[in-house]
Amino acid sequence: MSQTLPVDSLKGRVALVTGSSRGIGADTARYLAEAGADVVINYRNKAPRAQKLADELRGLGVRALVVGADLTDATSVQQMFAEVEREFGSLDILVLNASGGMEAGMAEDYALALNRDAQVRVLDTALPLLAAGSRVVFVTSHQAHFIRTTPTMPEYEPVALSKRAGEDALRERIPALNERGIEFVVVSGDMIEGTITATLLERANPGAIASRRESAGKLYNVSEFAAEVARAALVPVPADNTRLVGDTSSFAGE
């Protein structure tokens, strides 16, 4: 991985990345740690991977805290932030990366519970630790961000709708966050090669990834997109609170 943020640009800051034991979340945590941030690694059921990542990040000279939490469970989320407070006292960067909804065997309302309700719960529970000057980053996809104007694959539509509902619910918090001096930004990316979601979509709809790659000209891989998420934690927030990553020419405006 190449350095994406200036060295020590986040020194002294504390960042929590939900769903960061693997994939985009793990690479985002790495980039933030490379920039000097102490990092909280959140996982649901991949404890060994989370611990391995924490050891790697400590090798960079930062502190790393591993906290397992089911974001759909209020008590679990409260316990996670209690650990963060005990270890660090405060939080400067909250990256809402964890999402899902295509997993087999989950309840019918799981996508909405995770992609909307849990996102709001995590933010609300974190608020006492977020001081003026801190930042919240919500990670989503173009297929979800533009779902109201541009249809997506039927297999992904329930997830897209639930993620857009989560984005809308979080955006409703922007005035209150602004009053507290907390910045908020949405990072929306095209399909990301190598993610679990892309794999599941390809399984359900063979050729979907190649078709989208041909249409867009390029699809970001996990590391490339994670670099954009990490940058969103530091660079100025756009006026519309949105950073679009990758091609959007085939998506109708909101």
| pLDDT tops 80 at residue 2 | no
* DSSP designation for 172: T
| pLDDT tops 80 at residue 164 | yes
Question: What are the helix and strand counts (H, E) for the chain?
Answer: 11, 7
Residue 51's pLDDT is 97
CA distance 100 to 71: 11
* Whether 76 contacts 104, CB under 8 Å: no
Residue 102's pLDDT is 66
Residues 6+ apart with CB under 8 A from 74: 121, 125
| pLDDT tops 80 at residue 58 | yes
Mean pLDDT of 17-32: 96
- 63-67, 108-112, 159-163: segment of lowest average pLDDT: 108-112
* Whether 34 contacts 5, CB under 8 Å: yes
CA distance 136 to 151: 28
Quote the mean pLDDT of the chain: 91
* DSSP designation for 104: T
pLDDT in tens, 194-206: 666 666 666 766 7
